[in-house]
Structure 1
Amino acid sequence: MADAAIPLAPPRASILRQPGLPADAPGSRRLVVAGQGVTMAPVQAGDTVVLTNREGGQRCEVTLVDLQGRFAPAGPGLSTEAARCVLGMLTDAAHADVRRVRDALTRRGVALASIEGHACFSPTSPAGEQIEFTVQHDGLLLVGAPAPDMAVDLTDTATPIDVRITRAAADAGPTPLPEPLAVPLQDIRIAAGTAQAYVVKAGQYIQVIDVEGRQCSDFQAFALDKVQRGLDRGLDATVTRTLLGRSYPTPGLPSKAFDRDCTPLIEFVQDTVGRHDAFATACGPRYYDDMGYPGHVNCSENFNLALAPYGVAPRPAWEAMNFFYNTALDEHEQLHLDEPWSRPGDYVLMRALTDLLCVSSSCPDDIDPANGWEPTDIHIRTYDAALQFPRAIAHRMTPDAEPRMTRETPFHPATSALTTHYTDYRGQWLPTRFLNEGPVAEYWACREGVAVMDLSALRKFEITGPDAEPLLQWCMTRDIGKLSVGQIVYTAICHPHGGMMDDGTVFRMGPDSFRLVCGEDVTGIWLREQAQKMGYRAWVRSSTDQLCNLAVQGPKSRELLSQILWTAPAQPTIEQLQWFRFAPARIGGFEGEPVVVSRTGYTGELGFEVFCHPRHSQRVFDAIWQAGQPLGLKPLGLDALDMLRIEAGLVFAGYEFCDQTDPFEAGIGFTVPLKTKACDFVGRDALVRRKAAPRGVLVGLALEANEVAAHGDGVYVGRAQVGVVTSGMYSPTLQRSIALARVDAHYAELGTALEVGKLDGQQKRLPAQVVRFPHYDPDKLRVKS
């Protein structure tokens, strides 16, 4: 058979999908205004601005500051109604975004007393509604999302406004730097492919900014007094890694970097990327020589040039902290690299612990993906030592979300007096353990008495509108239609293929209003997408920043709360409140601070959760703390909570479930009433198939060894791995090691002998047996008491 003629064509161009990055055209910029916040951006006459009411129902206000520092009309297409609420926001320092904008305007000499603007949107605006206008004057655009504080038993929350600015000029000019964190002491521009040295005094801050995004920067520092004595003692990788016990020092308490003499030189304060190389050498001539590019400019030789005036001896390759580099070790311990994760304006903020000589580079590597194939500038700012910047790392709860720095919860002033041990949990600092107590003591307080814990990081959404119930019926596995006002149900939320997206509790606040408390921001986004797809008239609005909550758990929790919570005659008292019910209440009496109290928890004990607005957080915590002292109340951290929930067989995202596991495999099949729910819901057909032919089953394991099984340990029968440990602990109550594990359905029968693999799974085994779970109180008699 003759070969068919193959038509000639040019080689194909590669197609790269970047679903996490908004498709910004050149000259386009996106900003996000947080609910109750304000943002600011430079604009020019003729620029087009599009405002999007992301979640719906959020008012918006717009104003413009011209080049003379006067407030002017922003542009046609906006309401002529004067909006003075922005002024109130700018003079109120409660919101961090508002403070930054106010300080930036003050630095520019803008008189805030004369502010006026335009009102946009309404409380009935649908999600996604847009307003477009053209800017009339060069200046600074201010956009605010004003809202009153939310009532804890209502749904009047504050939500974000998206701002898209498209430049009128074809040449958009250089990428604007982010607004300074404060008045800079030094502004140093490091051109692509160069390096500069600079001196920083003890206590001052150093901000390394990736201007265009996906650009690497090497950093090295020396104690200035040692340099002046002729000692070469730069930051040392081995010392830093050893003293910290981790590969990269992230913001928080153990965040320092040390020189060869074990002297701490810097501490990390903020990081908007979270993905860097730990410590490697800056690129040197040998790398380029060996790649066939002799004479290529490189960071090490640039360091030598920058440090020479200070008498620092040159090196063929400089050890450095490699900011924004995306290098990692693979499963074969081989070093590989790819394009950086950093985006325009991303930065690392450090604090000098002594007088320092610093040197920073903009890496010139253009022969591999290290700088996105196109080296660009790095910018350095330094700030005064008298300033205070909170320790934080940035989170993008969805890939295309704007970064948001770690926040202190409203209860932080109270808990920080009791502990210095915190971890970043879903973008908020939560205590892991408390001073003079520790996880075991906190555990026993919950099992035998009463304990209190900050759970404010849980995500909350207000679902309202005439189609709120149909929306939740479609999106939740549980039968939401069976809920009466005042009732709560625990539910799974699944993808169409049956894998779990999230779990959470649904509160029926009214006939057409619900509150969802869950773990993921993306759940709210997905609910809005489903409402639009199905044509449901329902609003899904985030209220996480308007509601904080404490868990009060343990056998004495009812006794404690009954002393301090007043409920109206039409509501159940604390003594009458049943499992998975809630009631509005007040602290102390009729005139006290409003709260919502629910008979829910995550410990397997009798317990409650108390929700309040952040402005009432201190009073609510103090009332619970003071009333609890005669009862032996203790604070509870995340470490102890993990012990409690594993014993109680309660699942945790990323451990017992993910998008590859269904509710049956996660051990919460009771949340999927396939026989009794009389309407279709997302994933139902897939769940019917999965239930009929289960691949894995969540089981309880009792280990014969005292060593603890860890998440990810393999579960074996002979040489074959038949499952994986999802969570493990040593149980103080049962006095043995226990675990939750997902195993092949063939080995899920009670009494089945299995082994937990350590090391490589083959050289060390811990004998185990499948047992009934929950391990603790399997009939849930205590939590229902």
Structure 2
Amino acid sequence: MNMTEVVAAKGGAEWGLLRQQRVHRIAGQGTLRLTLNPGEWIEIRSADGVQGCEVLPLNEHAQQQLERLLPVSCGSADLFKAQLAQSSASAARLRQRLSQCGVSAPERVEGWQLSAEQLPFELAVSEEDAPLELVLLAAGVDMPVDHQTPAGELYIDHHYVSAPLEQLPLPTAEGAVAPMPVREIHVPHSSARAYEVKAGEWIQVSDVAGKQCSDFIAFDLAALKQGEEVTLDATATRTLAGVALPQPGLYSRFSDQHMQTMLELVQDTVGRHDSFLFACTPKYYDDAGYFGHISCTTNFNNALKPHGIKPRSGWPAINFFFNTQAEPCGAIGMDEPWSRPGDYVLMRASRDLLCVSSACPDDIDPANGWCPTDIHVRIFAADARFPRAIATRVTPLEPARMTQQTAFHSRTSALTRHFTEYRGYWMPTEFDGWGARAEYLACREKVAMMDLSPLRKFEITGPDAEALMQKALTRNVRRLAVGAVVYSAICQETGGMIDDGTLFRMGEQAFRWICGDPYTGTWLRELAAREGYRVRVQESTDQLHNLAVQGPRSRELLSSIVWTPEAHTPVDTLAWFHFTVGRLGGPQGIPLMVSRTGYTGELGFEVWCHPDQGPELWDAIWQAGEPLGLAPLGFDALDMLRIEAGLIFAGYEFCPETDPYAAGIGFTVPLKTKEEDFVGRAALARIPASDRQRLMGFVLESEDMIGHGDQLFNGRFPVGVVTSATRSPLIGKTIALVRLTPEFAEPGTQLEVGQLDGHQKRLPGQVVALPFHDPERIRVRS
């Protein structure tokens, strides 16, 4: 059975299409090199409907083919040359990527531009023609902070006759040039292969067609020569890491039975695997009535026999891409894998190893999508460099987005190794030499600085920009002045919250929406299309990174380093929820946008710049802030600050099933003063004030820790739930944000937090009004 037949066998037309198509993403200002073989075709799509695609040929034959295949109305590819002409990091990156693709003198290359209006566009190579080699670009110049013209993403749907292994994605690499593998091991379906790796080498295990499990075991080569089988050990790994399954970051080590690291998990595009159950065994198939069915254990025994390793009845293994779940009762269930074609894990060997990888033969249940396919292993040299990364996806079938570093990572990583993945970026949780408590105190008493670059930024421009935002947001956007900012919710038709964020009015029909969820941009485009609005919604996250500078001395700090022209408001007189545009240090400094906003309950600002200029901005603030007692601020301290200030967080205080009233931000729903319709208005208007759940504060009588999801009880029965909790330095006790039924939401009400089964352990406390800190919000308004 060849790969095309295997793909077709996966389940009919729908699955067949998914298995024969790979979707590539081209980031704004990025490139993609492709070879289209005879019979293959691509569809080029613009994510935001604004970004065009530039096409460059890689040889003379490709030039002739493209002249034939592209429409005569195509313009010249000039935008990528404008990007190259900049004296910027994005120009250097583009030049390096083009050089890697084989374009050594890009200024002299003639190409074509497909405008956004010409997309989507299909480009096909006939069966009679030669392969077509080309480069596709989502070109664009750097966006200044007060402009709204970011380069957008392109999607390339590549339809294969068969899926060539050379098209499997390489791991995300540091720098523009990705290292190439030094060895490749193909594992045909229903088989296993053994291979050796040296200390420091990298192992990429790829799912070729998607929904295919790969069991993995490793042996210490030096120990094997001494007659000892030192292998991966589940108990040691889980105990030392403190997690059920290692993941890229601090908790990434796989250990042996001597509690020594064997491998480090560096990248993972799936995040759903099983750790150390048996690889499938003959007994499993015998007990199911499939006598003599091949198993991973049998394949492992055969692969390991030449190495003198005794056979076993079952091999404990890391079951990559195997989708198992543990129910609250302890039962283990399973379903089809989450992996898509080309998904992978990347590990690094800590010592010389003998490894075995399987392509699981299980076809009697959903373990491999009911049809086993191939696994491919690549080995990279020890001197290759790959950053730690986890995949996220905004929509289910899009290509994986690997964790990025913010513009300020070079500075924060010099101060701490404690990072967590948040919204596709690595973010520091606390800093060495400070710690969450000291960082918190610096913000309350002096000044602190935090990287908030993962916030999503969307530029909304066009004749109907105000109409779109008036329809999408609960707030009355028509009242918002140019230069002002408003906090709002975005709801679905049920009244449940999709997101919250701040809206900046950049011009009469120009807005910048700052929010948490990257899906919000997709939702805004869909709403605009449904309503027929003439508007552009472009994501500018990659062009705008930001620092929060918060605390009583934040104005003093920023006023000393931010220059503003006469036409713009100086920082020292900037009003709450307004923004200004200036430069760092003087009229020739880097462009900045400064907003009087924050997430701490203190006087504070956010400072926005182009990512390439992030280190310069960090250094200037750090140098000016040191005499004022400036401290870096991590996520752990921010959580303490925002809970004390009664500020809500996605996934804790709200979700798509939570309306703004229950989330504690009913003030963002002005039903009486906003007469125009907005999405969710009808559902919100049906909720009587007397029936609305309320977000309140809760103070425990003890310092016991409670957490999100713990229930609050009045006697035997639950009347609310903890949404967020922390130990408060301000109050000296454990405090929480809690969602309560209206009957028990009055300040002074005595309730109990239930733990264990909710009844065996009770922690008494009292309902209080929000916020805990600065109830009149005098400090933040000062």
- Partner residue, 2:275: 278
Structure-2 change in CA distance of 1:587 and 1:97 (3 Å)? closer
- When structure 1 is superposed on structure 2, of 61-70 and 138-147 the one drifting more is 61-70
- Partner residue, 1:205: 202
Structure-to-structure mapping, 1:60-459, within 5 angstroms: 60-65=53-58, 73=66, 75-77=69-71, 79=73, 81-83=75-77, 86=80, 94=90, 102=98, 105-106=101-102, 115-121=109-115, 125=117, 129-135=119-125, 137-166=130-159, 171-172=161-162, 177-181=167-171, 182-459=179-456
TM-score normalized by the length of structure 1? 0.93
CA contact (8 A) 1:79 1:119 kept: no
Q: Secondary structure at the match of 1:690?
A: coil
Q: Distance in 2 between matches of 1:581 and 1:691?
A: 33
Structure-2 change in CA distance of 1:638 and 1:117 (3 Å)? same
Q: Name the amino acid aligned to 1:164.
A: D
Q: Distance in 2 between matches of 1:399 and 1:393?
A: 15
Q: Distance in 2 between matches of 1:317 and 1:85?
A: 59
Q: Distance in 2 between matches of 1:90 and 1:307?
A: 53
Q: Secondary structure at the match of 2:529?
A: helix
- Partner residue, 2:704: 707
- Partner residue, 1:623: 620
Q: Distance in 1 between matches of 2:200 and 2:83?
A: 32
> What do the CA deviations read for 1:419-470 (whole angstroms, capped 9, x no partner)?
1111100000010000010000000000000000000000000000010000
Q: Name the amino acid aligned to 2:315.
A: W
The question of 1:581 aligning with 2:575 is answered no
- Partner residue, 2:564: 567
CA contact (8 A) 2:75 2:114 kept: no
Structure-2 change in CA distance of 1:102 and 1:251 (3 Å)? farther
CA contact (8 A) 1:185 1:382 kept: yes
CA contact (8 A) 1:664 1:691 kept: no
- Partner residue, 1:780: 777
Deviation at 1:115, TM superposition (A): 3.8
The question of 1:697 aligning with 2:703 is answered no
Over the matched positions of the two proteins, sequence identity in percent amounts to 52
- When structure 1 is superposed on structure 2, of 130-139 and 513-522 the one drifting more is 130-139
Q: Distance in 2 between matches of 1:335 and 1:296?
A: 23
Structure-to-structure mapping, 1:646-685, within 5 angstroms: 646-685=643-682
Structure-2 change in CA distance of 1:361 and 1:111 (3 Å)? farther
The question of 1:31 aligning with 2:24 is answered yes
Q: Distance in 1 between matches of 2:189 and 2:540?
A: 43
Structure-2 change in CA distance of 1:89 and 1:706 (3 Å)? same
CA contact (8 A) 1:76 1:134 kept: no
Q: Secondary structure at the match of 2:691?
A: coil
Q: Distance in 2 between matches of 1:173 and 1:608?
A: 51
Structure-2 change in CA distance of 1:207 and 1:87 (3 Å)? farther
Q: Name the amino acid aligned to 1:49.
A: I
Q: What is the RMSD computed on CA atoms of the aligned residues?
A: 2.4
Q: Secondary structure at the match of 2:638?
A: helix
The question of 1:514 aligning with 2:517 is answered no
Higher normalized helix content (fraction of residues): 2
Structure-2 change in CA distance of 1:575 and 1:17 (3 Å)? farther
Q: Distance in 1 between matches of 2:61 and 2:390?
A: 36
Deviation at 1:99, TM superposition (A): 8.4
Structure-2 change in CA distance of 1:318 and 1:280 (3 Å)? same
Deviation at 1:165, TM superposition (A): 3.6
- Partner residue, 1:58: 51
**5+ unaligned residues in a row in structure 1: which ranges?**
1-15
Structure-2 change in CA distance of 1:100 and 1:348 (3 Å)? farther
Q: Secondary structure at the match of 1:756?
A: strand
Deviation at 1:110, TM superposition (A): 8.3
The question of 1:486 aligning with 2:476 is answered no
Structure-2 change in CA distance of 1:691 and 1:116 (3 Å)? farther
Structure-2 change in CA distance of 1:193 and 1:99 (3 Å)? farther
Q: Name the amino acid aligned to 1:119.
A: Q
CA contact (8 A) 1:485 1:511 kept: yes
- Partner residue, 1:725: 722
Q: Name the amino acid aligned to 2:498.
A: M
Structure-2 change in CA distance of 1:417 and 1:311 (3 Å)? same
Q: Secondary structure at the match of 1:761?
A: coil
Deviation at 1:646, TM superposition (A): 0.2
- Partner residue, 2:6: none
- When structure 1 is superposed on structure 2, of 51-60 and 368-377 the one drifting more is 51-60
Structure-2 change in CA distance of 1:291 and 1:711 (3 Å)? same
Structure-2 change in CA distance of 1:621 and 1:97 (3 Å)? closer
Deviation at 1:328, TM superposition (A): 1.3
Q: Secondary structure at the match of 1:585?
A: strand
Q: Distance in 1 between matches of 2:507 and 2:291?
A: 72
CA contact (8 A) 1:32 1:402 kept: yes
Q: Distance in 1 between matches of 2:226 and 2:762?
A: 56
Deviation at 1:174, TM superposition (A): 5.4
CA contact (8 A) 1:604 1:648 kept: yes
Structure-2 change in CA distance of 1:45 and 1:189 (3 Å)? closer
Q: Distance in 2 between matches of 1:208 and 1:113?
A: 39
Q: Distance in 1 between matches of 2:18 and 2:380?
A: 33
- Partner residue, 1:11: none
Q: Distance in 1 between matches of 2:438 and 2:212?
A: 48
Deviation at 1:332, TM superposition (A): 1.3
- When structure 1 is superposed on structure 2, of 428-437 and 56-65 the one drifting more is 56-65
TM-score normalized by the length of structure 2? 0.93
Q: Name the amino acid aligned to 2:51.
A: Q
> What do the CA deviations read for 1:702-724 (whole angstroms, capped 9, x no partner)?
11111122111111111111111
